[in-house]
Copies of this chain bind each other. A is one copy, B any other.
Amino acid sequence: MNYTFSDRVSTLKPSVIREILKHSSDPSVISFSAGNPAPEAFPTEEIAVLSAQILKENPIGALQYSLTEGYPPLRDTLKEYMKTHHQAIREFDELIITSGAQQVIDLATKVLCNEGDVILCESPSFIGSLNTFRSYNVRLRGVPMEDDGMDLTALEQALKEEPNAKFIYTIPNFQNPSGITMSLEKRKGLYQLAKQHQIIILEDNPYGDLRVSGEPLPSIKSMDEDGLVIYAGTFSKVISPGLRVGYAIAPQELMQKMVVGKQCSDVHTNILAQIICDEYMKQYDYNAHLRRMKDIYTRKSSLMLGEIEKHLTPKGITHKPVEGGLFVWCTLPDGVDMMEFCNRAVQRKVCVVPGSAFLTDETAPCQSFRMNFSTPTDEQIVEGVEILGQLAAEMIPES
């Protein structure tokens, strides 16, 4: 039989980049290409204790069908947490549990965009979100990144030129892939522009709790007096990604539609995992856990940055500062072929992600690549960066 696919998935093609990434599952390869949180940061023993407790005390509650909106006690715990610690939820907002933050991205697009509509996003941006947007047959308009976040002049221009723009997608903290953190001034400016143009902001904050230096900045959602912001949060980076528990905060009217959308997608999120997250926040010292994570990430990011500065910086490879998150964004000098660099690195068993993977237009010129410091071991970081340094020495002429 000849299968005919929908337009939305016909446009999603496997890319050259995937070919490179295939190698990252080879155990003999040092992978700097993943986005996995550091496994040593998972509270594995606590999860084992909680899981046993829940399955003993409330097995039916943990295993029966549940509500699409999420496990009510977890919703209450998160509402309280987001109010007290982040001032990121107001009277007019609602909070629901999702199957990871990816589902927030999916549901926001589902309820807001018709085919052919436009989404304004940082370029580069998280490839997972860009692909979700693409799966709705929307058009992506990239807004260039500056060192302190989105170029607001370019954003304003885009808002004027794109009457069918439905929302602005941003990762303000330690953006994936660039590592860039949006300044307070730009957060305020972005919010004002959105208000002026009456457009929704989708604020994705998976890494917010993983700050390794500098002072925390308020979320855009915390400025949301007008009901413009959908906030995506997740336990993936702070408790466990395998549990697939995320959450969305948005004005009730928006949330009602997202709940209907979620019911059509997966009915509800795994309930045992939701109870584990709730009991973890209740029974353990969540802030102490975040401090432990911070220590792990501070050490790993410093190690990688040190090695980069030793082996890559002298070759003219620059990198963005790292205040948190999981990634370092490196840029090769002009004239060096970035794809060739990534391909030759793989041949030497070191895998990094070509920066073009994260562009709204994957064919645009790009000199950057993304490196992850949370998944590899310390030894792999030292060895892998040294190999990249040797490769750089061969490919980059002495200046």
Q: Contact residues of A with B, CB < 8 Å?
A: 1-9, 12, 34-37, 39, 42, 44, 47-48, 51-52, 55-56, 59-60, 62-66, 99-100, 102-103, 106, 110-115, 128, 131-132, 134-135, 166, 198, 200, 226-228, 236, 240-244, 251, 253-254, 257, 260-261, 263-273
Contacts and interface: CB of A to CB of B under 8 A. Distances in A.
Contacts of A62: 242
Nearest to A102: B267
A164 to B, nearest CB: 11
A6 B44 contact: no
B253 A3 contact: yes
A292 to B, nearest CB: 16
Given A111-B5, A114-B6, A244 B263 contact: no
A47 to B, nearest CB: 6
A103 B266 contact: yes
Contacts of A198: 1-2
B55 A44 contact: yes
B265 A265 contact: yes
Contact of A5 (B112, B128, B236): B112
B6 A260 contact: no
A269 B257 contact: no
A242 B66 contact: yes
B270 A242 contact: yes
A256 to B, nearest CB: 9
Contacts of A110: 6, 8-9, 135
B266 A243 contact: no
A111 B264 contact: no
Copy total for this chain: 2
Nearest to A35: B65
A60 B42 contact: yes
Given A1-B198, A111-B6, A266 B99 contact: yes
A64 B265 contact: no
B39 A64 contact: yes
Given A9-B257, A34-B65, 20 more contacts: A1-B228, A3-B254, A8-B110, A9-B111, A36-B64, A42-B59, A47-B55, A47-B63, A51-B52, A52-B52, A64-B241, A64-B242, A65-B241, A65-B242, A99-B244, A100-B267, A102-B265, A110-B135, A243-B270, A273-B273
A243 B64 contact: no
A280 B272 CA distance: 16
A156 to B, nearest CB: 19
B44 A7 contact: no
Contacts of A253: 3
Nearest to A270: B270
Nearest to A135: B264
Nearest to A101: B267
A177 to B, nearest CB: 16
- A103, A198, A266: which has the most chain B beta carbons within 10 Å? A266
A263 B51 contact: no
Given A102-B267, A110-B135, A60 B48 contact: no
A51 B165 CA distance: 46
Contacts of A243: 63, 270-272
B56 A242 contact: no
7 contacts: A2-B198, A6-B113, A12-B260, A42-B63, A65-B241, A106-B266, A243-B271
Given A3-B253, A5-B111, A106 B265 contact: yes
B36 A59 contact: no
Contacts of A4: 112, 166
A227 B1 contact: yes
Most chain B CB within 10 A, of A47, A99, A100, A242, is at A242
A60 B56 CA distance: 23
